Amino acid sequence: MLQKLGVSYKEKEGGVLSIGPFEVGRRGQIPKVLAQSAAVCMPEPSTSVGDDVAEILFFMFEDKLAALVGDSSADQAMIGNPQGKGTREYWCAVYREGQRRVLREAMSELEDGGLDEICGADGKGVL
């Protein structure tokens, strides 16, 4: 089913399936194909998305947020330090803060309306 969706995937050791990559846009825009891919990978595969898929995506984003190196306050301090501007550390902090912002926005969207709001009530909407 993932091939029909045009999603790249790789089977890893231990039966783990790695799908993607996917991009989550600003203001919590979650690609419809990401939600559909998660639905296909459920214990009972489906092509429609529901609250269980929203929950899986939420926890996936939460894990990605936790995996970011460093903490937000240190990165914000680096970004606000005029002496650090233009350094490698500065640009890494900018990148991580951007990642944090996008992941938090996506998680907030999932909490507020689940996938109905993001993908449409039928799970087939355009983002």
Residue 109 to residue 49: CA distance in whole angstroms: 15
Q: How confident is the model at residue 123 (pLDDT cuts 50, 70, 90)?
A: very low
| 54-108 pLDDT tens trace | 888 888 889 889 988 888 999 999 999 989 899 999 999 999 999 999 888 888 8
Collapse the DSSP code of 120 into the 3-class scheme (helix H, G, I; strand E, B; otherwise coil) and give the result.
coil
Q: How confident is the model at residue 126 (pLDDT cuts 50, 70, 90)?
A: very low
Residue 10 per-residue DSSP state: E
Alpha carbons 108 and 86: distance in angstroms, whole number: 31
What's the whole-model pTM score?
0.70
pLDDT digits (tens, 9 = 90+) for 7-41: 887 888 887 777 777 777 766 677 777 877 777 77
Say if residue 117's pLDDT is above 80: no
**3-state SS string over 15-83?**
HCEEECCCCCCHHHCCCHHHHHHHHHCCCCCCCCCCHHHHHHHHHHHHHHHHHCCCCHHHHHHHHHCHH
Q: Residue 93's pLDDT is what?
A: 93
Q: With pLDDT > 70 as the criterion, what percentage of the chain qualifies?
A: 80
Q: Exposure of 40 by Cβ count < 10 A (0-12 exposed, 13-18 middle, 19+ buried)?
A: buried
* Distance (Å, whole) CA 73 – CA 71: 6
The whole-number pLDDT of residue 122 equals: 47
